[in-house]
Structure 1
Amino acid sequence: MKLTMPRFDQARVLVLGDIMLDRYWAGPTSRISPEAPVPVVRVEQITDRPGGAGNVALNIAALGTGATLGGYTGRDEMADTLQAMLEGAGVKCVFERLDDMPTITKLRVISRQQQLIRLDFEASEFCAPGHSLEQHWSSLLEGCGALVLSDYAKGALVDPQPLIGAAKAVGVPVLVDPKGTDFSRYRGATLLTPNLHEFEAVAGRCRSEQDLVAAGEKLMTELDLAGLLITRGEHGMTLLRPGVEELHLPARAREVFDVTGAGDTVIAVLAASLAGGAPLPDAVALANIAASIVVGKLGTAAVSAPELRRAVQSETGSERGALSLDQLAVVVADARAQGEKVVFTNGCFDIIHAGHVSYLEQARKLGDRLIVAVNSDASVRRLKGSGRPINPQDRRMAVLAGLEAVDWVVCFDDDTPVSLLDVLKPDVLVKGGDYDKAGVVGWEVVEGYGGEVQVLGFVDNVSTTAIVERIQRNQGQDPSQ
């Protein structure tokens, strides 16, 4: 499956459901309490993070997608903390604050990267009789590309049918992270995303892949679902759709530190991808990759668009090679977001020789990523004459892309790379030759935005022009000479 990144930045998602605060107290432990046989943790770090529907919204915003979060909270300090964190991350918060219930808070005590205990602060019953999410938030559906119902069985989504109906009426897909054993509450939703345990609690024990598919097809028919995504831990994910062959995706995590919030990440990437125009199978594949990233982090965590894009590029082998300018601008931005230093050089590179290889290896050592910009065939003819290039641009780019020192290759049609420098803004501009930096085309542009210019020497007595002249001199001679 060839994956491309959706336009996350042009999408908007509405998240409704149970909002909660995840609080972490962490520190070392070296003794047992004299009061009881329990470890004593010396708390050195207190961390607050949005949980539940808040974590879903945070994951969506981390991808660059517009996220609006609605739900119930208490009228307390925890709600203030949540709203400040979420709005600081770009999430629009539309909270219904209630006087007779606390904001749901989960306090986890951690030592040596192990969770020792979890303390929950919440009302024993949902204290909002007569309140309706549909009444308060269905108007926010306008302009949304997807609606996420994040159900943690805390009471916000006791009756989600009005919300599902309102979304379907305006053509907005509804994605549900379900809870409990009564999935009939989600009848008519676009996609349900239960884990295997939740699915089997409703559909019965599945002893084989055939059992899983059959039970899923039955559930989709009964509940009028457009799809069912079953997350299966180390066995990956299974996407079921009526009348379509099932899609099994293997788990990709290499090392699992914490599965907390992984389900939130899955549904967030699904929603943002669908809202950004991705087909459902592609959205599921992206969510699967995102899950492999997030379980490698401790605690509830979000996956950023650069992280996801890099993982996709690694999966598809497209993290290097020949790119268009638009593609290159994206990966350069990702590299910069990761703190990498980008080096840029340019030339015709008509016949790749030892001088080129040595020069590019030197250039690569000046940073973390090397871009090679190649003159197009038309540009080479203007610069070198009608007999050039010897090799067309696609072949020149392919050879350069195969060199270990080169990360990305891009073609340009102008006589100079100035327009590329304006767009990409590399940290270092490199040119080979025996002149000073004032002779490097584009040096003013690079130094103008704070970059640097480097001039490297070529290997002596090696050049494309010399090679071409030697070939021409040898034409027509006896091969034995």
Structure 2
Amino acid sequence: MTDGRLEEVIRTIGAPRILVVGDLMLDRYVWGDVGRISPEAPVPVLRVEREENKLGGSGSVISNLACLGSEVSCCGVIGDDYHGGLVTAELEKLGVGTEGVFTVRGRPTGVKTRAIACAQHVVRIDNEDTSALAGDFEDQIIAFLSDIMPTQDLVIISDYNKGLLSEHFARQTITLARSHDKHVLVDTKSDDVTKFAGATTITPNREEAERLTQTKLDSRENMQQAARQLMIDLDLDFATITLDRDGVALCSGESFEIFPTHPVEVYDTTGAGDMALSIMGFVIAGGYSVEDAVRLANVACGIEISRVGVSPVTREEIIARIKEMHHLIPSKIKTLAEIARIVEEARRKRRRIVFTNGCFDLLHIGHIKYLQFSKAQGDILILGVNTDESVRRLKGPSRPILDQTHRGQILSAIEWIDYIVFFGDDTPLELLRVVRPDVLVKGAQYSRDQVVGADFVESYGGEVRLAPMVEGISTTDIVDKIRERYRNTD
């Protein structure tokens, strides 16, 4: 597959109708800082800074699909409690109907609470009931599935082994879907995978596949043997095994292939399995091949594991990563939406964000010293660069000398710059409101009162620092010298 083809696939998928059946849960994140050990016991004391609620379990798959633009229907159970109300509210925010969400009195909604400090998980607390549902409840849910199944393009089963997917219910769901010629993709935490026999595929990770097949996946031969065993034993159309850093193994018919990942810095593997399942379902429901689905799942999972916590991945982010992987655009150049995501992650990891801006037309030693100083003020340097149009407004109709494409590519080669974002306003004030840097750097030719955004940055505790300037050199001086030197030459 060409790079352009992969981008075309994710761009052109419409809004496939996907039914997600599985264990609905609430994921609670408690973000804070650990500065001491408790005097009561040898455990860290977390000072809470903020809290966040997200859909968990099968809800994670639902969130991923909704973010991609799929028309999602869901089926699962919640308790008649406060947390069940939060799950329902989160579904409604995504525009997902709750007709298939059944309330079980006396059964708590599953909640996983994760405490996180400095991008590290401190503890996880689970509150759940994993007992099987009563038979009459299963009958109600199956009746709902019978009504909705003909309208769906694909079914995803997300089984966290929390009591919903009994052997009877799982078999009934798969039989019903296949009778309507619907693909069924399954991800399960259960050791009893035989109840999912007849599905299109299941998507175990390396550890799960080793346990299910009693095969150590330490060689290509063993991976192929395990995948083929799953496909034959469970009567699957194809078998997929996610292999963390090694990519995804796909066994289909007589063919076997391992699709490698693009190397990324891994921060948190939570949610990677759900992301792979979501992307594969989305692509296959959109009418594309299994191979397309696996390749795109690899790309999306690479984005997911480079973040802290679980969050959906957009089509735009996938397209940008594809271009980065194949050097179609400099990887440092980001959109405003991407920068917003980057700074959110950086703050979670307690990294010090530095921002500066300028036209950077015809780079010279003054620019290099300035950028070196800026990077030294923190961990991440984000550079705001004026677009061509804004440079013309600021510098006159003869500028810039180099257009923004060339300026962006040249700046991308400078090691001290982490990210570049273009802005078209005359000042970077709106960009600053998104970045909210810890440090704002400008040249010492300005006074503190002349620095645009200084009051804003200092209002939340940020700092303004003035970089020493290299005397006697500027882009304007260079342009004037060139004009003077070659004024009378042919």
- TM-score category, normalised to shorter length: 0.5 to 0.7
Tell me, in whole angstroms, the C-alpha distance in 2 between the residues paired with 1:39 and 1:96: 39
Partner residue in 2 for 1:303: 313
The one-letter code sitting in structure 2 at the alignment partner of 1:269 is I
TM-score between the two structures when normalised by the length of structure 2:
0.66
Q: Summarize deviations over 1:346-369 as a string: whole Å, max 9, x none.
A: xxxxxxxxxxxx99xxxx964289
1:194 aligns with 2:204: yes
Partner residue in 2 for 1:404: 406
Partner residue in 2 for 1:115: 121
1:87 aligns with 2:89: no
Contact 1:8 1:63 in 2 (8 A): no
Shift of 1:109: 1.5
> Could you say if the C-alpha distance between residues 43 and 222 of structure 1 is closer, same or farther in structure 2, counting changes exceeding 3 Å?
same
Q: Summarize deviations over 1:140-168 as a string: whole Å, max 9, x none.
A: 22332211000000111113111111111
User: What are the within-5 Å matches in structure 2 for residues 16-31 of structure 1?
Assistant: 16-31=21-36
Partner residue in 1 for 2:136: 130
Contact 1:146 1:174 in 2 (8 A): yes
Shift of 1:336: 6.8
The one-letter code sitting in structure 2 at the alignment partner of 1:115 is H
Contact 2:389 2:424 in 1 (8 A): no
Partner residue in 2 for 1:217: 228
Shift of 1:217: 1.3
Tell me, in whole angstroms, the C-alpha distance in 2 between the residues paired with 1:289 and 1:99: 41
Partner residue in 2 for 1:154: 162
Tell me, in whole angstroms, the C-alpha distance in 2 between the residues paired with 1:124 and 1:240: 33
Contact 1:306 1:337 in 2 (8 A): no
Secondary structure (helix, strand or coil) at the match of 2:66 reads helix
Contact 2:20 2:157 in 1 (8 A): yes
Secondary structure (helix, strand or coil) at the match of 1:162 reads helix
Shift of 1:89: 2.2
Q: Summarize deviations over 1:186-229 as a string: whole Å, max 9, x none.
A: 11111110001111111112342112212321221222101111
Secondary structure (helix, strand or coil) at the match of 2:257 reads strand
Partner residue in 1 for 2:284: 274
Tell me, in whole angstroms, the C-alpha distance in 2 between the residues paired with 1:365 and 1:301: 29
Partner residue in 1 for 2:182: 172
> Could you say if the C-alpha distance between residues 14 and 319 of structure 1 is closer, same or farther in structure 2, counting changes exceeding 3 Å?
farther
Tell me, in whole angstroms, the C-alpha distance in 2 between the residues paired with 1:180 and 1:338: 37
1:140 aligns with 2:148: yes
Q: Summarize deviations over 1:244-269 as a string: whole Å, max 9, x none.
A: x2121122241111111111111001
> Could you say if the C-alpha distance between residues 338 and 176 of structure 1 is closer, same or farther in structure 2, counting changes exceeding 3 Å?
same
Contact 1:52 1:152 in 2 (8 A): yes
Shift of 1:317: 4.3
Q: Summarize deviations over 1:46-66 as a string: whole Å, max 9, x none.
A: 111111100000000111111
TM-score between the two structures when normalised by the length of structure 1:
0.67
Tell me, in whole angstroms, the C-alpha distance in 1 between the residues paired with 2:226 and 2:389: 49
Tell me, in whole angstroms, the C-alpha distance in 2 between the residues paired with 1:233 and 1:250: 10
Tell me, in whole angstroms, the C-alpha distance in 1 between the residues paired with 2:190 and 2:82: 30
The one-letter code sitting in structure 1 at the alignment partner of 2:27 is D
For 2:387, which of 367, 375, 386 is the aligned residue? Answer: 367
The one-letter code sitting in structure 1 at the alignment partner of 2:102 is E
Larger radius of gyration: 1
> Could you say if the C-alpha distance between residues 128 and 104 of structure 1 is closer, same or farther in structure 2, counting changes exceeding 3 Å?
farther
The one-letter code sitting in structure 1 at the alignment partner of 2:154 is A
Tell me, in whole angstroms, the C-alpha distance in 1 between the residues paired with 2:16 and 2:336: 24
1:41 aligns with 2:46: yes
Secondary structure (helix, strand or coil) at the match of 2:166 reads coil
Q: Summarize deviations over 1:1-50 as a string: whole Å, max 9, x none.
A: 22133434331211000110111112112122121111111112111111
Tell me, in whole angstroms, the C-alpha distance in 1 between the residues paired with 2:339 and 2:33: 31
Q: Summarize deviations over 1:165-191 as a string: whole Å, max 9, x none.
A: 111111211000022222211111111
1:241 aligns with 2:261: no
Tell me, in whole angstroms, the C-alpha distance in 2 between the residues paired with 1:171 and 1:255: 40
Contact 1:253 1:296 in 2 (8 A): no
Partner residue in 1 for 2:429: none
Q: Summarize deviations over 1:281-329 as a string: whole Å, max 9, x none.
A: 0111000100000011111111111111211232344459xxxxxxxxx
1:14 aligns with 2:19: yes
Contact 1:253 1:293 in 2 (8 A): no
Contact 1:23 1:48 in 2 (8 A): yes
> Could you say if the C-alpha distance between residues 200 and 365 of structure 1 is closer, same or farther in structure 2, counting changes exceeding 3 Å?
closer
For 2:219, which of 208, 224, 227 is the aligned residue? Answer: 208
Partner residue in 2 for 1:227: 238
Secondary structure (helix, strand or coil) at the match of 2:137 reads coil
Secondary structure (helix, strand or coil) at the match of 1:263 reads helix
Secondary structure (helix, strand or coil) at the match of 1:148 reads strand
The one-letter code sitting in structure 2 at the alignment partner of 1:202 is L
For 1:100, which of 98, 106, 121 is the aligned residue? Answer: 106
> Could you say if the C-alpha distance between residues 232 and 404 of structure 1 is closer, same or farther in structure 2, counting changes exceeding 3 Å?
same
> Could you say if the C-alpha distance between residues 366 and 19 of structure 1 is closer, same or farther in structure 2, counting changes exceeding 3 Å?
same
Contact 1:269 1:290 in 2 (8 A): yes
Tell me, in whole angstroms, the C-alpha distance in 1 between the residues paired with 2:213 and 2:22: 24
Partner residue in 2 for 1:5: 9
Tell me, in whole angstroms, the C-alpha distance in 2 between the residues paired with 1:405 and 1:141: 53
Shift of 1:338: 4.6
Tell me, in whole angstroms, the C-alpha distance in 2 between the residues paired with 1:125 and 1:369: 63
Secondary structure (helix, strand or coil) at the match of 1:404 reads helix
> Could you say if the C-alpha distance between residues 253 and 75 of structure 1 is closer, same or farther in structure 2, counting changes exceeding 3 Å?
farther
Tell me, in whole angstroms, the C-alpha distance in 1 between the residues paired with 2:133 and 2:49: 35
The one-letter code sitting in structure 1 at the alignment partner of 2:104 is L
> Could you say if the C-alpha distance between residues 293 and 366 of structure 1 is closer, same or farther in structure 2, counting changes exceeding 3 Å?
same
For 2:322, which of 287, 307, 312 is the aligned residue? Answer: 312
The one-letter code sitting in structure 2 at the alignment partner of 1:140 is I
Q: Summarize deviations over 1:385-416 as a string: whole Å, max 9, x none.
A: xxxxxxxxxxxxxxx99x73699xxxxxxxxx
Tell me, in whole angstroms, the C-alpha distance in 1 between the residues paired with 2:388 and 2:245: 34
Tell me, in whole angstroms, the C-alpha distance in 1 between the residues paired with 2:335 and 2:118: 32
Partner residue in 1 for 2:459: none
RMSD, aligned α-carbons: 3.0
- Aligned-pair identity in percent equals 33
